[in-house]
């Protein structure tokens, strides 16, 4: 992700957290003024809020700045099973999903054999026979 996008994500998070922080501070202040909470309780409430807000901010920032990997890119390197013989094109199952696949070398791979996804061309996976020694 570009640095500008990361900065925009961080600014959006800071904006939202700042809004909620101001609301929480006002609520705690009003409770303190009305003598509904003690200074110690107010301090504990602020510390708890700070910890929770910091954790949520960290998690949201990670989600917003991570690269989403879906589709064929997400299964490159994974192992699959041949459902329809690859000669060199056929059907495989990877992580419970069926995919069209072609063999990298053009060799025939029979039904039931294990393959490893090495690349993709559009929505067609490029696979090679899984070797016994891994």
- Domain-terminating residue out of 25, 50, 65: 65
Residue 122 has pLDDT above 80, yes or no: yes
* Predicted pLDDT at 133: 59
Quick one: 82 and 51 in the same domain? Answer: no
Query: 36: which DSSP letter?
Result: S
At 57 the pLDDT is 82
Mean pLDDT, residues 98-121 taken together = 94
What is the domain range of residue 123?
71-129
Of 65, 89, 116, the last residue of a domain is 65
pTM above threshold 0.85: no
Burial class (CB in 10 A: 0-12, 13-18, 19+), 33: exposed
CA-to-CA distance for 63 and 105, rounded, in angstroms? 38
Pairwise CA distance, residues 90 & 101, whole Å: 6
* DSSP string covering 59-109: HHHHHHHSPP--GGGGGTT-EEEEEE-BSSEEEEEETTEEEEEEESS---B
Asked if 59 and 79 sit in the same domain, the reply is no
Q: Could you report the per-residue pLDDT of 40-97, keeping only the tens digit for each?
A: 999 999 999 999 988 988 888 787 777 666 778 888 999 999 999 999 899 999 989 9
The reply to whether 97 falls in a domain is yes
Residue 98 predicted with pLDDT over 90: yes
Distance (Å, whole) CA 64 – CA 15: 14
Domain count, the chain: 2
Whether 134 is in a domain gets the answer no
């Amino acid at each position: 992700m570009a640095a500008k996008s990361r900065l925009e994500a961080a600014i959006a998070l800071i904006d939202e957290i700042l809004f909620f922080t101001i609301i929480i501070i006002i609520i705690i202040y009003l409770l303190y003024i009305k003598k509904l909470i003690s200074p110690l309780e107010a301090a504990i409430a602020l510390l708890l809020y700070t910890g929770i807000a910091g954790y949520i901010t960290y998690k949201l920032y990670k989600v917003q700045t991570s690269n989403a990997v879906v589709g064929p890119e997400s299964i490159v390197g994974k192992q699959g099973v041949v459902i329809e013989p690859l000669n060199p094109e056929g059907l495989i199952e990877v992580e419970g999903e069926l995919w069209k696949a072609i063999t990298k070398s053009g060799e025939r791979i029979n039904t039931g054999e294990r393959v490893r996804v090495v690349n993709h061309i559009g929505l067609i996976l490029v696979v090679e026979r899984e070797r016994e020694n891994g």
